[in-house]
Chains A and B, each alone.
Chain A
């Protein structure tokens, strides 16, 4: 069965610091991988997606993620956190053309 593990339900950073949100997946076939962001009382917005092209994927709002097959990881990074990045982030996996499986989310807290 396919699954996603997001390490850390909460991550705290200072404004201007590096953001690193971890995601590990399991999939029996080459996966499609996604990162979504959710602001309070809103739906999810797609940040970026990996679909077997370049392993380093650039998304919106300065975020990027690197697909590492050997580590079954797809960690999300941003060089410098902004207060507006405070939100909940979800990693999701889709093995082949099957439906998405979401992780339990990581809440990013940004302090001034």
Chain B
């Protein structure tokens, strides 16, 4: 079955450390997205990519970086510059911008 796979499900970060969250899709979708979810704040867009080798900042990109070297993969790095990284991170993909998005099951990041 096609879908989106996020790994790991739980991740712990030490102070000053960069961590990378994986997102892989086999839906043949062009567009991919990263969201951060905090209680009571809904989903906030971090980065999105509409095509391979191209990506744009979302509303809260500071302290995060991404790459899109392959259509299937859109990894997110949470850098040490992100001072409050504890959150639930969701990856999504769609055929194109504005179309229904399909979501992975998320990665919960916590600080040690």
Contacts and interface: CB of A to CB of B under 8 A. Distances in A.
Interface stretch (A14-22, A68-76, A79-87, A101-109): A101-109
Given A9-B40, A32-B98, A104-B40, A99 B45 contact: yes
Interface in A43-92: 43-46, 49, 90
B42 A105 contact: yes
A57 to B, nearest CB: 12
Contacts of A34: 100
Interface string A6-32: 000100000000000000000000001
B87 to A, nearest CB: 13
Contacts of A99: 33, 45, 48, 58, 97-98
Interface residues of B, number: 25
B43 interface: yes
A90 B45 CA distance: 14
Interface string B43-55: 1010010000000
A107 B97 CA distance: 27
Given A34-B100, A97-B97, A99-B98, A44 B90 contact: yes
B73 to A, nearest CB: 17
A96 B48 CA distance: 17
Contacts of B48: 99
Contacts of B108: 41
A78 B58 CA distance: 33
B41 interface: yes
Given A43-B4, A94-B98, 15 more contacts: A9-B40, A34-B100, A42-B105, A42-B106, A44-B101, A45-B103, A49-B100, A90-B42, A94-B97, A97-B98, A99-B45, A100-B101, A102-B42, A104-B40, A104-B42
Interface of A: 9, 32, 34, 36, 41-46, 49, 90, 94-100, 102-105
Interface of B: 4, 6, 33, 40-43, 45, 48, 58, 88, 90, 92, 96-106, 108
